[in-house]
Amino acid sequence: MKTLDKAFDPETYESRIAQLWEQADAFRGDPSRGGERFSMVIPPPNVTGSLHIGHALDYTLQDVIVRRQRMLGKDTVWVPGTDHAGIATQMVVERHLREQGLTRHELGRERFVEEVWKWKETYHARIVETLRRLGCSCDWSRERFTLDPGLSRAVRETFVRLHEEGLIYRGERLINWSVGSQTALSDLEVLRDEPEQGELWSFAYPVEGGGEIVVATTRPETMLGDTAVAVHPDDPRWKDMIGRRVIHPFFPEREIRVIADEILADPETGTGAVKVTPAHDPNDFECGRRHGLPMINILNPDGTLNENAGPFAGLDRFEARERVKQALTERGLFRGSRPHMYAPGRCQRTHTIVEPMLSTQWFVRMKPLAEPAIEAVRSGAIRFVPSSWEKTYFHWLENIEDWCISRQLWWGHRIPAWHCADCGEITVAREDPSACGSCGSPRIEQDPDVLDTWFSSQLWPFSVFGWPERTPDLERYHPTDVLVTGFDIIFFWVARMIMSSLHLTGKIPFRTVLFHGLVRDAQGRKMSKSTGNAIDPGETMDRHGVDALRFTLAAMTSPGSDIALSESRLEGYRAFLNKLWNATRFLLMRLPAELERERPDYDEADLDDLDRYLVASFLDTVDAVDRAMDAFRFDQAVEAIYHFLWHTFCDWSIELSKPDLASGDGGERGRIRGAVMLDVLDGALRLLHPFAPFITEELWQHLPRRHGESPLLATARIPTPDDPAVPVPRALDRPAARALVEHWLIEPVGAVRGLRSGAGIAPSRPIRVLLRPRDESGREALARFADRIGVLARAERVEVLDGAPPDEPALRHVGEHVEVTVPLEGAVDIEQERARLSRERDKLARERDGLRRKLSNPAFVEKAPAEVVDKDRGRLASVEARLAEVERLLGQLS
């Protein structure tokens, strides 16, 4: 039999195992296969960056899910891919160019885009490598990229169709302008950080015919675009000002009136009068529309002021702010300033302050799309896990605004709209047109803008399968089963996928959305490069192995909460894998030789108490894992396997089996024991495989194989409550099998060890152990286990007593089921022993008093369920008996 190295070293097998899977083409979906299917699409990582630990979590959970489904025998597809990430990628490449002293404009659109493609190839390769290293069982034959021809076709089809339906329109609206990346942004791409210290600056507008109106602003430069001053119609202070003209200090000819607007002007705030800049403030924009005000845009795309700013034209917006303040002060119009906390919107990518600005852009009308999406979740067609995210989802969709989808970038899907130089009409088409659809003129030019990246990402769950074609893949794998993602992109992505899938395909995109938390550091802080607390998945895998990382991430995931990842946790689970390695190593070394060739069949009648204990525990673990996985409780699944393998399999089963397996050739008992342990280990490796695929595959490959089994663990059956996947007897009485060993073997061994340790008896010192069952039903089992108890408790002799233990110097313990006596001639510290037993007596007495109090309460006995009352009565009887025995022993000591 192949032997295993003493300590496990993941590096020695990880790549070899990955090759094994790849050569077998084990992860490819086959729509022609029939039977049950399971499909999932990866949330495509941005092709710009490398993968961080958050990706590792997301992909680990997905791989755990998909590997389990595959091992359940389904035709599984997990589609991998990457996202072109418009702004992010374009910016990275521009930065790269700048380092060489180049700008994208110098390069020109075509050559710039070529540069980005090169960049994409490099990072794409890196991402794929990391995914493979993580063990992700993706179907690489179906890999996609959002700019692939097929997916681009889906984007164009979507745009044209929505345009035809009137759901996409072009219009002049107030949008968020990112000065940093010089493009429009959607509302979601604008971040609001912690409020910072700002200034609320007041100045006066002189009113024609006398008087003045004082207004305040955090952005004084916007007064250059003011076209009105609003007051509340009922505000007595301003009532007679309404309709009068105010004089703009820099544009005296501009028509600026005092208007009454009860929505914009709040009498409670400030002076009750507010300046109106319709082209640069969302609320003012709405006010401007209500009153038909002129809208004056004062900004250039780069954040400097344009010609509308008159004497301030050409200045940067922040420079202009100071100059405007200065000029107003010089004119005697300054009316004070006070500190003010404010949180300006910032660009998600460049972190520069976003300017609200009037601009002509493309928009999607969202309300009609949102309604079915709300219904899909409300009706339960799509399930959120945890369901608490539903509220957030509903709230956003119920208050949804139109989506600005055009971006002034070069990297992305170009908008399929052509502007006619002659008639000015716009032609939107599936195929590139050669003439204006309206006047037939050939002088048309494609819209220079590209689409928001999320416009293509929203199609991902069906575009990857070939939509708008009705491909066999689309028929079979859409809708997908589970989407696993972070809650931070619930609006960006999840909601939009639901809306677009329902609208375009008539189907939901996925049945279940599993939201996980963020990965944080050991102190619960957000990981970031600047804090220096970011954990690099590659480095972690180098140090601890892929499986330890995966296992740790899965073990620490709990629905709805973030993960505090710590080095010590990783070390702990790595130690667990080492333990598993060595347990397998032990079995392989000690197995009776003939098991290498053939595992004997056995049935329940062939099993002894220890076999039954092991099988029962294993089957219980299978049930626990199954339940946990159904509920996406990876932490609980992992905990069940961990506990079973380490504490049941290693600590008890292996230790107890050493005598049976010691002789090598074994005999009948050894052969059965060996076969049972092998089968149970086999089953446990299967259960564990989705979490730790590499080590389990490696170990499994070393196990003697039964006939007709899959050559790979990755495609072998996983144990379920209906089918344990290994030939262990399933009908046995599990609670009885476990109780027998726990009561009559594990308990007395623990008691002796405790006595030894408590009294400071060296492990090497031989002792004699006397056992007395506190219930006669255990006598036979106790006698049967006596020898094994002796081995594990390191006792020379173990006797089962008929009557009371002899009254001689001894360490004594009165357990729940067994009373243990360790006679120690001349070595017992009477005082110490008395103190220990007294503590025990006090504890039992407290418990007895509590139970008596409870049981003497008539309300409890009447109202509590009978089984609860019976249980407590039983406990009381047991506690009283133990207490009596402890008191008797104490009496002997005095």
Tell me, residue by residue from 370 to 399, as one string, x for binding to RNA by CB under 7 A and - for no binding: ------------------x--xx--xx--x
Q: Phi/psi at 706 (nearest 5 deg)?
A: -85, 160
Q: Does 598 bind RNA (CB under 7 A)?
A: no
Q: CB 298 → RNA: shortest distance, Å?
A: 16
Applying CB under 7 A, the span of 424-432, 441-449, 572-580, 605-613 interacting with RNA comes to 572-580
- Among 336, 524, 664, 806, the residue binding RNA under the rule CB under 7 A is 524
Q: Does 122 bind RNA (CB under 7 A)?
A: no
- Cβ closest to RNA, residue 140 vs residue 396: 396
Give every CB contact of residue 779 below 8 A, 6+ residues apart in sequence.
773, 800
Applying CB under 7 A, the span of 495-503, 722-730, 755-763, 800-808 interacting with RNA comes to 755-763
- Among 197, 379, 434, 523, the residue binding RNA under the rule CB under 7 A is 523
Q: Does 311 bind RNA (CB under 7 A)?
A: no
Using CA atoms, how far apart are residues 411 and 430, in angstroms rounded to an integer?
20
Q: What is the DSSP letter of 594?
A: G
Q: Number of residues interacting with RNA: please give it, by CB under 7 A.
A: 99
Q: Does 651 bind RNA (CB under 7 A)?
A: yes
220 φψ region: left (φ > 0), alpha (ψ -120 to 50), beta (else): alpha
- Among 182, 283, 533, 720, the residue binding RNA under the rule CB under 7 A is 283
Residues numbered 723 to 752 that lie near RNA (CB under 7 A) are: 750
- Among 234, 240, 655, 842, the residue binding RNA under the rule CB under 7 A is 655
Q: Does 346 bind RNA (CB under 7 A)?
A: no
- From residue 620, give the alpha-carbon distance in Å to each of 409, 652, 681, 724: 58, 16, 14, 11
Residues numbered 484 to 513 that lie near RNA (CB under 7 A) are: 488, 491
Q: Does 590 bind RNA (CB under 7 A)?
A: yes
Q: Does 650 bind RNA (CB under 7 A)?
A: yes
**Which residue's entry shows tokens 């002899």?**
806
Q: Does 11 bind RNA (CB under 7 A)?
A: no
Q: Does 266 bind RNA (CB under 7 A)?
A: yes
Nearest Cα to Cα of residue 798 among 761, 770, 830: 770
Q: Does 569 bind RNA (CB under 7 A)?
A: yes
- Cβ closest to RNA, residue 483 vs residue 752: 752
- From residue 421, give the alpha-carbon distance in Å to each of 424, 432, 435, 447, 557: 6, 16, 11, 12, 58
- Cβ closest to RNA, residue 488 vs residue 542: 488
Residues numbered 190 to 229 that lie near RNA (CB under 7 A) are: 192, 195, 200, 202, 215-218
- Among 575, 830, 877, 884, the residue binding RNA under the rule CB under 7 A is 575
Distance, CA of 416 to chain centre: 36
- Among 14, 139, 226, 281, the residue binding RNA under the rule CB under 7 A is 281
- Cβ closest to RNA, residue 436 vs residue 703: 703
Sort strands 228-231 and 273-276 into parallel, antiparallel or unpaired.
antiparallel
Q: CB–CB of 617/648 below 8 Å?
A: yes
Q: CB–CB of 640/627 below 8 Å?
A: no
Q: CB 521 → RNA: shortest distance, Å?
A: 9
Tell me, residue by residue from 312 to 341, as one string, x for binding to RNA by CB under 7 A and - for no binding: ----------------------------xx
- Cβ closest to RNA, residue 157 vs residue 547: 547
Q: CB 359 → RNA: shortest distance, Å?
A: 18
Q: Does 536 bind RNA (CB under 7 A)?
A: no
Helix (H) or strand (E) holding 649: none
Q: Is the dihedral of CA 603, 609, 614, 615 positive or negative?
A: positive
Q: Does 758 bind RNA (CB under 7 A)?
A: yes
Residues numbered 70 to 99 that lie near RNA (CB under 7 A) are: none
DSSP string, 451-499: E-HHHHHTTHHHHTTTTTS--HHHHHH-SEEEEEEEGGGIIIIIIHHHH
Applying CB under 7 A, the span of 119-127, 161-169, 188-196, 804-812 interacting with RNA comes to 188-196
- Cβ closest to RNA, residue 82 vs residue 552: 552
Q: Does 636 bind RNA (CB under 7 A)?
A: yes
First vs last C-alpha separation in the chain:
61
Q: Phi/psi at 617 (nearest 5 deg)?
A: -65, -40
Q: CB 370 → RNA: shortest distance, Å?
A: 14
- Cβ closest to RNA, residue 136 vs residue 629: 629
DSSP string, 778-844: GHHHHHHHHHHHHHHTT-SEEEE-SSSPPSSSEEEEE-SSEEEEEE-TTT--HHHHHHHHHHHHHHH
- From residue 407, give the alpha-carbon distance in Å to each of 114, 182, 189, 304, 348: 19, 9, 12, 20, 14
The torsion defined by the Cα of 14, 20, 23 and 26, in degrees rounded to 10, comes to: -100
Long-range contacts (CB closer than 8 Å, 24 or more residues apart) made by 609-613: 609/737, 609/740, 609/741, 609/781, 609/784, 609/785, 610/653, 610/656, 610/657, 610/673, 610/741, 611/672, 611/673, 611/676, 612/732, 612/737, 612/740, 613/652, 613/653, 613/737, 613/738, 613/740, 613/741, 613/742
User: Identity (one letter) of the amino acid at 291?
Assistant: H
Q: Does 844 bind RNA (CB under 7 A)?
A: no
Applying CB under 7 A, the span of 265-273, 369-377, 406-414, 678-686 interacting with RNA comes to 265-273
Q: Does 470 bind RNA (CB under 7 A)?
A: no
Q: Does 863 bind RNA (CB under 7 A)?
A: yes
Q: What is the DSSP letter of 598?
A: -
Q: Does 550 bind RNA (CB under 7 A)?
A: no
- Among 79, 228, 519, 654, the residue binding RNA under the rule CB under 7 A is 654
Q: Does 443 bind RNA (CB under 7 A)?
A: no
Residues numbered 658 to 687 that lie near RNA (CB under 7 A) are: 658
- Cβ closest to RNA, residue 42 vs residue 556: 556
DSSP, collapsed to helix, strand or coil, labels residue 424 as coil
Q: E strands, 168-262, where?
A: 168-178, 183-185, 190-192, 196-206, 212-217, 228-231, 245-246, 256-260
Q: Does 579 bind RNA (CB under 7 A)?
A: yes
Q: CB 530 → RNA: shortest distance, Å?
A: 15
Q: Does 109 bind RNA (CB under 7 A)?
A: no
Q: Cis peptide before 468, with omega less than 30 degrees from 0?
A: yes
Neighbours of 750 (CB within 10 A): 17
Applying CB under 7 A, the span of 89-97, 127-135, 736-744, 861-869 interacting with RNA comes to 861-869
Distance, CA of 478 to chain centre: 23
Using CA atoms, how far apart are residues 126 and 128, in angstroms rounded to an integer?
6
- From residue 633, give the alpha-carbon distance in Å to each of 54, 55, 59, 65, 134: 18, 19, 16, 11, 21
Helix (H) or strand (E) holding 880: helix 866-893
Q: CB 38 → RNA: shortest distance, Å?
A: 25
- Cβ closest to RNA, residue 216 vs residue 474: 216
Q: CB 546 → RNA: shortest distance, Å?
A: 14
Q: Does 533 bind RNA (CB under 7 A)?
A: no
Q: CB 566 → RNA: shortest distance, Å?
A: 6
Q: Does 873 bind RNA (CB under 7 A)?
A: no
Residues numbered 35 to 64 that lie near RNA (CB under 7 A) are: none
Applying CB under 7 A, the span of 37-45, 462-470, 577-585, 734-742 interacting with RNA comes to 577-585
Summarize the chain as % helix, strand, coil (round to 5). Answer: 50, 20, 35
- Cβ closest to RNA, residue 10 vs residue 468: 10
Q: Does 176 bind RNA (CB under 7 A)?
A: no
- Cβ closest to RNA, residue 90 vs residue 821: 821
Q: Does 577 bind RNA (CB under 7 A)?
A: yes
- Cβ closest to RNA, residue 180 vs residue 517: 517
